[in-house]
Structure 1
Amino acid sequence: MGMTAVSTAILRFSLCLWMCLSITCEQPSPEEEELFSTVKQTKLEWSSTPAKAWSEVRMKLGSETEHPVYQACSSKSGPRTLWSGWISQKDAGGHTLFLDLTFAQEDEASSQLSPLLVFVQESHRPIRLFSSTNEINLLELRAPHPFHETASLPDKQNLNVNQGLPLGRRLQKGLHLGFSYSGPCLFIASVRLYYWKCPGFVEHQASFERADGGSELVSGACVENSVEISPPRRECNTNGFWGPLQGQCDCLPGHQEARELCVACRAGTYKSAIGSGGCSPCPPNSKTDGEGAVECECMLGYSRVSGDPTEMGCSKPPSSPQKVRVHRVSDSSLELRWDPPFDLGGRAEVWYDVQCWETEQDSGEEWQPCGDAVRFSQTAAN
C-alpha cells in the first residue's frame, strides 16, 4: 500500500468519524481497545536484522516522558529490519487493527527519501527466529519534514505522526510488527496498536450488544414489550460506529415508543395494534383499569354494539320511541308507527326490535310469544 492509499484510508476514517459526530448524536462514541503502546513500556528488546542494526534508547522523543525509542543510523546501505515482540490480540484474535506510528528520518542527497516499510507477521504464539521476510509491505511511509544530517537529534517539527494506519483484519491470536529501512538514519519514536469496538446500542426498539469493529452483520434483539417484524441486524464498522439498522421491531399492543424502548400506555389511554404509534386517550364514556390497555372498557351504564371499532366511544341505551301509534288495517294485519326516541344515547343510529305477544281475552293466562303465523314486514318511513 503506497502513501496515497494510506492517506485515503485516514481521510475516509476522519470523514466517517466527522459524519457520525455531526449527524448521529444519539449513537454512543466508539470504544478503543489498546493492544500495545511503546510509550507505556520500560524496555522492548526487539529483534534486529542485521544484529545491532537497530539500537534501543530511552528518550522523550514525541512524548513528555522517557520511553524506549528505536534508531537505525548507519553509513552502510541495505535494509535494516526490526521485529517487535509478540503482541497478543486478546479474545483469540479476529480484530481489525489500526496503528499509530511516530517517526523521524534524515534527509538524503537524492530527492527521493527511502521509505519506512511496515510488515505484519501473524502467529498463534511468539516467533523466536525471523527468516528474511517475503512479506509484502502493508505500509510505505516517508516523513514530510526530514531532519538534517547535522542535527544531533530530530526536533519536534521533524516528527511524522501517523494515526489510524489500517492493518486489516487479523485472525490469529497475536502478531509481530516489522519495520524495515534502507536510508541513512531513522528514529521510531512511538508505536501503538489498537482496534475499535461498537458499544452496546439501542435504537428503534432493537438492542445490540458490544461488538468488534469490522464485524459482519451483527444480530440484535427486540427490546422488552416489542415484537420482531423482521430480524434486526446492523454492521459494526471498523471505526467503531454502527451502520444503519436493517430489520424492524415494533411495540406490542398496549405499549408505545419512549426513548427507543416500549413502555406501557398510561391509565386512561390505550393502543390496540402492533406498531410504532403512540397511545390514544380513551374515547367518550370508556376507561381503563390500569396501564398497558389494548382497549378501553365501557363505563357502567354504557356499552358498544358488536362490530364497533375500539376507537369509538360507548353509548347508553336510547329512550323509548315517542308517539307509538297502532292502526288496524284489516282483520289480519295491523300497522305500527312511532317517532324516534328523544335521547339516542349518544349514537347517530338506532335499531328497533319489534316483538309480538298474545293471550286469549279474559283467559287470565300468561302472555306468550306469538307463533310462526305472525309475520313482520317493514316499510320505508315517511
Structure 2
Amino acid sequence: PEQNQNLSSFSILPSEVLMNTKLETSDLRWTNHPADDQQWEELSGLDEDSNSVRTFQICTPSSPASYWLRTRWIPRRAATTLYVEIRFTMMECAAMNQRHCKETFNLYYYQADADEATPTHPAWMENPYTKAAAVAADHLLRRGGAERRSNLKLLRLEGLQGAGLYLAFQSQGACMALLAVRVFFRKCPPLRRAFAAFPETVPHSLVEQARGVCVENAVTPPGELAQPPSMLCGEDGQWVGPPTSSCACRPGYEAGDGDLRCRACPSGHFKVEPGSGGCTSCPGNSNTRIPGSAYCPCLHGYDRADSDPPHAACTRPPSAPRHPVSQLNDSSLILEWVEPLDRGGRGDLSYRLLCSACGEAGLVGSCSPCDDSVLFRPSQAGLTRPRVTVWGLRPQTRYMFTIQSVNGVSAVSQSEPASVSINVTSSRDAPPPVSGLRRAAASESSLSLSWTAPVLQNQPPVLEYQLRFRPLADHQAPWEYRSSPSCSLVLTGLRRATRYQVQVRAQTQAGYGSFSGAGSFSTLPDGTGPAHSQLVLTAVLVTVATLLLVATATAGFICYRRKRRRRRPSRADKAGHYQMGQAMKVYIDPFTYEDPNEAVREFAKEIDASFVKIEEVIGAGEFGEVCRGRLRLPGRKENFVAIKTLKGGYTEQQRRDFLSEASIMGQFQHPNIIHLEGVITTSCPVMILTEFMENGALDSFLRVNDGQFTPIQLVGMLRGIAAGMKHLADMSFVHRDLAARNILVNANLVCKVSDFGLSRFLTENSSDPTYTSSL
C-alpha cells in the first residue's frame, strides 16, 4: 500500500471510478460489526462545496475493542490494481485523556468472485481479510478548536485476482469521521512514441505488455523480428519506460514532430533506407518529381554503376583515348596514348586493349583475334596508365590494336566504349620451334625437363627459352610461365601425382618463335622419391626437439616450485603476525543480566516522550507499528527518526524481547550499523527510536531503481555492508539474519546493518559454531 500519493498528478490521468460515496444521497447500506453495538453511525452532512453527502462517525476512545464497517461488494472489472481515496477527520487523543485512545484506523479488504458476504461471513478478523494499511491522520482536531481540517489519503491495492472485493474499516479506540471514500483504477492514455501508436490501456500486471501498431508510413526494417510494438502500462496508469518498438519511417519518408509521425520527402529529395534519418537532396545529374521517393532516377545519358550507392551522383562513360603512338622493336611493341578529355565525372578510369591479327604484310585478308602467343605487360585489361608493352608478335604480320577507355558505368551504358585504333606491321624472322621436350627427373612436387635447341640459319642467337604449363586434366586453368637461359628447367611447387601439359619456345632479337608440341609429364606419388626420406628425417628431428623442450620446461618448473617452498612462510608465522594488534571491545549479551531492564538502562538512553512527535505510520513490525517522526532534544537540531512501538496488551516477556534489540543496538557505534537514538519506557506506548533511513530496505530500493547506479556506487554500498559486518565480527557477535531486507539505505546511499532480533553472541571458546533459528 502507498500513502500520500501526489493527488494533483493523478488528476490528469484517465481513470474509471468503481465507487464514490460523495455521489450517494441515500443510505449506503454498509455493514457494522458487532451488529448489536453499531458504533459506526451513518449520518448526512455537507461537504466542502455544501453538497449533501453520507458520512460515518465513530468515537470509542475508552474502549480497545474492534469495531468494523464493511462496504458493499465492489466489482473490479479488468483492473489488477485499485486506488482507494479516503477523506476523514480525527480527534486528538491528548485532550481526551483516555488510555485506549488511538489516532489511527486500519483498512482491510476481502476478495470475492460474487456478492457473497453476510453479517457473519467472512469472519471479522485479519484472516480471511487482508490488511491494506494502518492509516494515521496528518491533521488532528482539538476540542474547542476552530480549525477543522480533513485528511486525504490515497492507498493502492495490488495483485487483485477476484471478480470484486469488499473494503472494511477497523477502529480500535479512534474518534473519527469517515467523510468520503472513492475507489478507482487508472488507465494509461493513448500514446504515440517511437513511431508506434498505443491505445488507451487498462494496466493488468507488471509482465503483460500493451500492444501497439506502427504509425502510418512506418514499417519494421528488414531483418528485424516481425513483432508488434509493445510497452508496459504501469499500475498507476502511466506508461513505463521507452517502448519496445522497431518501427521506423519507411523509405521515402522522414520523421516529423519528433518520433510521432512520418512525412513524405518533398520533390527533389529522397531517402533510401528505413529509419529515423532525414531526406536528402537528389545527387548530381538525377532528380525526382514524386513526393515520398526512395531514390532519384538518373537524367538521360547518365547512369550509376552497380557498386554505386543510391546517394552517388549519376555519371557517364569517358570519351576515347587520344593520340596513340607505337614503337616497334622486332617482335615487341610499346604502345602509348593520351588520356581522354572527358573522364565521365568519375575517378575509376581504366583502359583495355583488343588485338587482331590481319595476315601477312602486303596481303589483304580478314582480321581475327590474336592467339595466346601475344602477351601484354602489365596486362591487356584494367590498365590504369596509358602505356603497355606487347611481345610475341609474328614476323611480317599486320596487327590492329584498339584502345578502349572505360569506367564504372561503361558496363551498364547503352553505348559501346569510346576507342581509338592503330595498325602495326612486325618485321624479321622469328626463331624456329623447339623440339625434343623430355623429362629428366621427377619428384612429388617437381619436374626436371630438358629439350633440344633449334637450328638457326642466318638468324640471331637464342636469348632465352620460355616454358608454359598447366594440369592436363584442367583445360580451363590459366597457363603458368617460366624462363630459362639454357635448354633445361626444373618446375617446382607442383601437385603430387598430377600430369601436366608443357610447351616451350625460343626467343631471339626478332622475337618469340612458336610453341613446341605439347608434352605430358607426371609428378610422383607419396613416398616414391628422394623427398620422402628427407621428410622422415625432418619429422624425427622435430619430435626429438619437442621432447627436449618439454623436458627442459619441466625441470625448470620443478626448480621454481622448490625455491618458492623454501621462501614461503609457515602457518605459525602467519598466526603470530595476525595476533599482534589491539584488543577489541566485546559484545555483552543482554539476556545474561538477572534484570533485563538493567541492560536497557546501561546501553540505551531514556528519552522523554514530549521530545518525540509521530508523523506517519510507515509499516508494521513483529511487536507493533513502525512510524516516522521527529526528535527534538534540548540543545540539538530536530531530526527525523524511525519509531518502533509496542502494541497494547503485551506481556512482560514480550516487553523484554522488544527492548532487548535496543540493548543490542546500543553497544554498536559504527557508521555502517543502524544508530540507536534511545528508548521510551516510562510512558505508553513503549518505543525504540533509531536514525531514519530515507531510502528504506536495500532489496526494494534496488528493485525500484534497477539500472540507475554505476559500478562504483554499487561497490561502495557493498563495502559499507562488509565494514558493518566486520565490526560485528570483531566484537564476537553473530547477526544470524543478514539479508538485503535487513540492510537500510539513507539519502547518501550509505548502507547500514539493522534488525538484530535473530542475533546471538558467539564466544571465543565455543566449539560448535552452528546455530538454529525458528521464524
**TM-score, normalized by length of structure 2?**
0.42
CA deviation profile, 1:132-178 (whole Å, cap 9, x unmatched): 42224312123243334568xxx76331122x211223222222111
Partner of 1:96: 81
| C-alpha separation in 2, matches of 1:253 and 1:144 | 59
Measured after TM superposition, the shift of residue 216 of structure 1 is: 2.4
CA deviation profile, 1:107-139 (whole Å, cap 9, x unmatched): 332486242211111212223414342224312
Partner of 1:191: 181
Over the matched positions of the two proteins, sequence identity in percent amounts to 24
Measured after TM superposition, the shift of residue 83 of structure 1 is: 1.0
Measured after TM superposition, the shift of residue 363 of structure 1 is: 8.8
Q: Contact 1:90 / 1:173 at 8 angstroms: preserved in 2?
A: yes
Q: Contact 2:194 / 2:243 at 8 angstroms: preserved in 1?
A: no
Greater C-alpha Rg: 2
Q: Contact 1:62 / 1:102 at 8 angstroms: preserved in 2?
A: no
Does residue 129 in structure 1 map to residue 123 in structure 2?
Answer: no
Q: Which one has the bigger helix percentage?
A: 2
Q: In structure 2, what residue type is equivalent to 1:209?
A: P
Does residue 70 in structure 1 map to residue 50 in structure 2?
Answer: no
| C-alpha separation in 2, matches of 1:254 and 1:314 | 19
| C-alpha separation in 1, matches of 2:355 and 2:83 | 91
Identify if the C-alpha distance between structure 1 residues 295 and 174 changes in structure 2 by more than 3 Å, giving closer, same or farther.
Answer: same
| C-alpha separation in 1, matches of 2:374 and 2:333 | 11
Q: Contact 2:285 / 2:298 at 8 angstroms: preserved in 1?
A: yes
Does residue 53 in structure 1 map to residue 39 in structure 2?
Answer: yes
SS state at 1:287 partner: coil
The aligned runs of 1:1-382 (5 Å cut-off) are 9-10=2-3, 13-14=5-6, 30-43=13-26, 44-51=28-35, 52-73=38-59, 77=63, 78-91=65-78, 94-108=79-93, 109-110=97-98, 113-131=102-120, 132-134=123-125, 135-149=129-143, 157-162=148-153, 164-183=154-173, 185-213=175-203, 215-217=205-207, 218-221=209-212, 223=214, 224=216, 225-227=218-220, 229=224, 232-245=229-242, 247-251=244-248, 252-259=250-257, 260=259, 261-288=261-288, 290-330=290-330, 332=331, 334-357=333-356, 369-372=368-371, 375=374, 377-379=376-378, 381=386
Q: Contact 2:351 / 2:386 at 8 angstroms: preserved in 1?
A: no
SS state at 1:127 partner: coil
Measured after TM superposition, the shift of residue 289 of structure 1 is: 5.3
Unaligned residue ranges in structure 2 (runs of 5+):
379-384, 388-775
Q: Contact 1:200 / 1:207 at 8 angstroms: preserved in 2?
A: yes
Identify if the C-alpha distance between structure 1 residues 294 and 196 changes in structure 2 by more than 3 Å, giving closer, same or farther.
Answer: same
Unaligned residue ranges in structure 1 (runs of 5+):
1-5, 19-28
| C-alpha separation in 1, matches of 2:344 and 2:133 | 83
Q: Which moved more, 1:260-269 or 1:179-188?
A: 260-269
SS state at 1:186 partner: strand
Identify if the C-alpha distance between structure 1 residues 288 and 156 changes in structure 2 by more than 3 Å, giving closer, same or farther.
Answer: farther
Measured after TM superposition, the shift of residue 362 of structure 1 is: 9.7
Identify if the C-alpha distance between structure 1 residues 341 and 130 changes in structure 2 by more than 3 Å, giving closer, same or farther.
Answer: farther
SS state at 1:39 partner: helix
Measured after TM superposition, the shift of residue 84 of structure 1 is: 1.0
Q: In structure 2, what residue type is equivalent to 1:203?
A: R
Measured after TM superposition, the shift of residue 350 of structure 1 is: 1.2
Identify if the C-alpha distance between structure 1 residues 245 and 75 changes in structure 2 by more than 3 Å, giving closer, same or farther.
Answer: closer
User: Size of the alignment, in residue pairs?
Assistant: 357
| C-alpha separation in 2, matches of 1:318 and 1:288 | 25
SS state at 2:22 partner: helix
CA deviation profile, 1:230-282 (whole Å, cap 9, x unmatched): 65443222222211125341424443332323444333333333433223222
Q: Contact 2:31 / 2:71 at 8 angstroms: preserved in 1?
A: yes
Q: In structure 1, what residue type is equivalent to 2:318?
A: P
| C-alpha separation in 2, matches of 1:249 and 1:55 | 59
Q: Contact 2:110 / 2:130 at 8 angstroms: preserved in 1?
A: no
| C-alpha separation in 2, matches of 1:197 and 1:56 | 33
| C-alpha separation in 1, matches of 2:7 and 2:329 | 92
Q: CA RMSD in A?
A: 3.3
Measured after TM superposition, the shift of residue 197 of structure 1 is: 1.2
Measured after TM superposition, the shift of residue 34 of structure 1 is: 1.5
CA deviation profile, 1:195-223 (whole Å, cap 9, x unmatched): 11112222112333322246324143451
